[in-house]
Amino acid sequence: MTAEPKTIRVTAETDLPALLDDAAAGPLILERGGDRFRLSRDEGDSADPWADYNPERVREGLRRFAGTITPEEGERMKELIYRGREEGTRPPDRP
């Protein structure tokens, strides 16, 4: 499990090279005027998205959450999906 990103308030006095050094060590949250931005090192194509994949953890999560949606809620969700398909989900001004 990853740690919570560090939050840094961005001001005119903020030192960008030091921020990038911090981002190389782990993800950061930059905040300016109430807006929040996530900054992390780009691993490019070399990062393996499956590196931490653990199929048993996935199965465990599925077993843990199985049955948390009632049959009625499941039917309601399916109805919403089918209605969206029939009505279309794109804005009217977009083909």
Which of 37, 29, 40 has the alpha carbon at shortest distance from 7? 29
Domain edges within the chain:
6-41+50-87
Range name among 43-47, 51-55, 74-78 with the lowest pLDDT average: 43-47
Q: Please give the average per-residue pLDDT across 14-42, as a whole number.
A: 82
Helices (H), 1-95: 16-25, 55-65, 71-87
Quote the pLDDT of residue 3. Answer: 67
Q: Span 29-48, mean pLDDT?
A: 79
Tokens of 86: 């029939």
Phi, psi of 69 (to 5 degrees): -100, 130
- CA 39-45-49 angle, to 5 degrees, is 80
Per-residue pLDDT tens digits for 53-76: 999 999 999 999 998 999 999 999
Percent of the chain whose predicted confidence (pLDDT) is above 70: 87
56, two tokens: 């048993």
Interatomic CA distance for residues 22 and 29, integer angstroms: 11
Name the nearest CA neighbour of 5 among 50, 36, 43, 45: 36
